[in-house]
Structures are given as C-alpha cells and as structure tokens.
Amino acid sequence: MRALTKIEYWDQGYVARNQAAELTFGWRDYINYLIADKIEGIGLEGKSVLEIGAGDSMWLPYLAKKYPGTQFAGVDFSKAGCQRLADRVAAAGTPVTIDIHNEDMFAAESGLHGTFDLVLSFGVVEHFTDLSAALLAKRRYLKERGLMFSLIPNMAGSIGYLTKVFNRQIFDMHNPHDWSSFLEGHRRAGLTVISGGYLGSSNFGVLSSCFEHHRGISWHAYVLLTRLSKAIALAESRLGNLPASKAFSPYIYAISQATHETRHFHQ
C-alpha cells in the first residue's frame, strides 16, 4: 500500500490557513445538511465517537456542542492539524470537550484501538492506493459491533474530471473510486455496508482546493460552476432533493459494520 499524499502537504495546508471556516447549514451549504443527516441518523447520544483525519475538523466541534452527553475524540498524524483542532475547541468554549491525539492511524499499537462506538472520516481513505487497508486501519478503533462512517469525494464523476483539468496534482492525490469500487473495498476489509451510495445532486464548491490563486480562466469557470451549485441548492432546500448520481454527485458515503471474520492488511 502507498499513500498518495505526504504529511508535509497537510502541514503546509494547515499552517497556511488564515481563518478557520465555520460549519454552516444554510441553503448555500445544503450538502452539509445531507452529511449531518446521515451521521446523526446513526444515533450519537451517549456514544463514543472518533474522527480519523481530524486536523482542523469543523465536524467535531459542531457535533460535540450538539451532543454534550457523547464522548468525542480526534486523531490526526499532523501536529499542525491537531493544533488547529485544539484552537477550534478553545474558540468554541467550555461546553465542548474533544480528546485530540497526534497519531498515525496505521500505528501498529494504540491505546485507542477497540474503544469507539463510531469512527468517522471525511476524505481520508481515498488518499491511499489500497482502500481496504485504509478501512482496516479505521476498523481497529471500533468496539465490537461498532459502526464506521466514511465519506470521500466522487472523483469518478464530473468532480474528478474537473479536478484533473484544473489541477492535475490534486487529482493525483486521490484514488478515484466510484460507488462500486468503494463497496468492494469495504467487502475486502471485512465490513458489511449498512447504507451508502452517492450523496448530493451537485456541489462544485468542493473544487476549491484546486486553486491557490483567484485568477485566470479556470478560476472564473469554477466561480460560475459554484453559482450553478448554489442555485440548485436553493431549489433543493425549498422543493426537495434532486437525484444523486455517479456523474454529478460530489460525494460517496458508506455506513458499515465489521463482520465477525478478522482480516489483516500489509502496510
């Protein structure tokens, strides 16, 4: 198995961020509502929840504030990312408590293994050549019969095509799964998928990472696409969801549970 990104990329990205973006749920960010609906539908109250790849996470402070009776923790291999998350927790105020661990999810031994009811990740497992190995690493943090929520960008559809056009380097950092290959990766990791599929009808805002500079033809094309996405989101927030699809959905998700069979992976 090979990682498609290096820790320096993430460290530099966290350090370069000038201001922490907040998680919002207005019609302009309708996709966040769809993601939250899937996670909260699992049932979080009184559980132990871990996010892997939690550097500068927007989701953990939001969920911790909403579910004060739930134990939340975050793991990230980037010290800079962990510090950004700690800053978010401090800014959120005393009601929010999140245990933060600077740890590689592929570490052979961890005191966190086998201790969580739910393990979350938002755009992590697709950064490795072997999806099942990454999912197995996540699985080790679960209690028996614990659940996993995994979200990845849909790089097999139009989002992936445009990423390749706008910034090939960013595209090459992803293993471009579709729903079929994502499902197969779970099967190979000994995970039973309870629910999943493409999520959202469209959201070209996820292409923002392709642009370091806000200029040029590509940038203006991106701006026009995001305006189209916002118009669609406004319509959906008032009239109902449009169908998700391989061609246009921004994300793929899966909620899964470990089977009784134990499988091993090679780093």
| DSSP-derived secondary structure for the chain | --BSS-HHHHHHHHHH--SPPPP--SGGGHHHHHHHHHHHTT--TT-EEEEES-TT-SHHHHHHHH-TTSEEEEEES-HHHHHHHHHHHHHH-TT--EEEEE--TT-S--TTTT-EEEEEEES-GGGBS-HHHHHHHHHTTEEEEEEEEEEEE-TTSHHHHHHHHH-HHHHTTS----HHHHHHHHHHTTEEEEEEEEE-S--GGGGGGG-SSS-SHHHHHHHHHHHHHHHHHHHHHHH-PPPP-TTT-SEEEEEEEE-SS------
What local confidence, expressed as pLDDT, does residue 169 receive? 95
Q: Using the structure block, give the residue that is written with the tokens 């099967």.
A: 187
Strand 71-76, strand 48-52: pairing: parallel
Nearest to 126 by CA among 249, 256, 3, 258: 3
Q: Contact 216/264 with Cβ under 8 angstroms? A: no
Length of the chain: 267
What local confidence, expressed as pLDDT, does residue 18 receive? 67
What local confidence, expressed as pLDDT, does residue 7 receive? 87
**What are the backbone angles phi and psi of residue 234, rounded to the nearest 5°?**
-60, -45
What local confidence, expressed as pLDDT, does residue 264 receive? 37
What local confidence, expressed as pLDDT, does residue 267 receive? 32
What local confidence, expressed as pLDDT, does residue 55 receive? 95
What is the chain's pLDDT, residue by residue, as a tens digit (267 residues)? Answer: 789 998 888 888 888 876 667 888 989 899 999 999 999 999 999 999 999 999 999 999 999 999 999 999 999 999 999 999 999 999 887 788 999 999 999 999 999 999 999 999 999 999 999 999 999 999 999 999 999 999 999 999 999 999 999 999 999 999 999 999 999 999 999 999 999 999 999 999 999 999 988 999 999 999 999 999 999 999 999 999 999 999 999 999 999 998 754 443 333
Beta bridge partners of 3: 128
Residue 230: which region, alpha, beta or left (left: phi > 0; alpha: psi -120 to 50)? alpha
pTM of the full structure: 0.93
